[in-house]
Structure 1
């Protein structure tokens, strides 16, 4: 934590079924009144294992489980693997655009992604209400990194920008893509695209959310090296 001390009001949820691990219960610490506190303190909270969902800011607080580990990539020392270089070459025909506003065509893409790729998850079936609550934030204005196949939108990476006097940070909030492009590994390609752009923008860290060793859908995050994981309130480096 920072050497300066600040008091923030937080609450703890009641246990509920874990979104990632079967037969587990999940408990969260939630920031109270994020609309007044989050914009100022989210960079520090992010660096201490918190994430956002819509306007809400939270961190897992499970009594008997420490499986969730926040993961970030030090952008300046990131090294692409051979397979990542091949993926970038394979997808080099795609067009990358950056927007500061939500596109009208995002929801249809998001809906197809959730309903086909995450039909076993808590966000299924995708609805406009759930999408709006998840994507929109009262205090945060992210970048939307769009990937196109010619004129067709095939992926969107929602990327939070967190700038302080000490660091410039990006956080990969969420990515959704066209399920018909599974062979192009658009999820991994989106992260590699974020990293390429982060280098251009002189970003210090790219946060990828939580990593859970036994959750197959999250294992890809450890393929970006070197990276750091937040374990026992400390950032631990992995190569």
Structure 2
């Protein structure tokens, strides 16, 4: 590993309005991911709470606030509850494909529908096709786009997608979007998470990284539905809730 990879240069953004807690400001620390060891660096940083966006790894570094907590699902011990099992059965007809990170017009149009339905005032609504292509394709690590489609006999429409990194110890869900305007397909976001948990567990990967959780934020509450979950604190990773341990399967490729 090169010295540049072992000792990356970090930078800090200027403060801006916090998107999760009113009246607060956010600041991020970040570094570039490039070169032959970008994947190793991303894995190491992911274990201490960093997230990837294109060729940058970042994490919150807010003055006087540590509300954003990294969370990950322990895949070997996850057992869906009755509601989650019902959701899996409801969408069991979907066809799921792991695709190489190549942006398509179909994906982009689904993203626009999703943002319009769920985040109409968000900054991502300004993204054009080039911005979306950069988000998908500018990845220096092992990345896939997981597509969720209607059955071929019903037209094969794309109804969900997730940009996903495969790291050494798990899958990191970078960004997911879906047909939030289809009442008959309610719960697609939850289904995508559970599909990733199953994929990771079958591949022998112990975790699915869900990004940041802010206690008390309604937008973030869904992340705590997947137990057991670990949260990153000053002393490292610990259980958000105690559960009995279960063995993890032998490692296999997550995206065979």
**TM-score, structure 1 normalization:** 0.89
Distance across 2 between alignment mates of 1:47 and 1:7: 16
Partners of 2:30 and 2:57 within 8 A in 1: yes
Runs of 4+ in 1 over 6 A off after TM superposition: none
1:70-121 CA-to-partner distances (Å, cap 9, x unmatched) read: 1101111112111111111111122222212325221111111112211132
Equivalences, count:
230
Cα distance in 1 for residues equivalent to 2:149 and 2:78 = 25
What pairs with 1:39-118 in structure 2 (closer than 5 Å)? Answer: 39-104=39-104, 105-118=106-119
Q: Tell me if structure 2 keeps the 8 A contact 1:115–1:125.
A: no
- Tell me: CA distance 1:83–1:139, structure 2 relative to 1, closer, same or farther (3 Å): same
Query: 1:119 maps to which residue?
Result: 120
Of 22-31 and 137-146, the range deviating more from structure 2: 137-146
| Counterpart for residue 142 of structure 2 | 141
Structure 1 residues 175 and 138, CA, compared in 2 at 3 Å: closer, same or farther?
A: closer
Query: Is the counterpart of residue 132 in structure 1 residue 133 in structure 2?
Result: yes
Measured in 1, the distance between the counterparts of 2:9 and 2:103 equals: 34
8 Å contact from structure 1 (residues 94, 148) kept in 2:
yes
Separation in structure 1 between the aligned mates of residue 239 and residue 65 of structure 2, nearest angstrom:
21
TM-superposed CA distance for 1:28, in Å, is 0.6
2:27 corresponds in structure 1 to 27
User: What is residue 185 of structure 1 aligned with on the other side?
Assistant: 187
Q: Cα RMSD (Å) of the superposition?
A: 1.8
Aligned twin of 2:232: 230
Q: Distance in 1 between matches of 2:51 and 2:122?
A: 19
Unaligned runs of 5+ in 1: none
Map Cα deviations across residues 178-228 of structure 1 (whole Å, 9 max, x no partner).
Answer: 122355211101001111222222211110111112321211000000000
Query: 1:135-174 CA distances to partner (integer Å, 9 max, x unpaired)?
Result: 33241231221111121110001110112xxxx3210111
Match of 2:213 in 1: 211
Give distance in 2, aligned partners of 1:78 and 1:138: 29
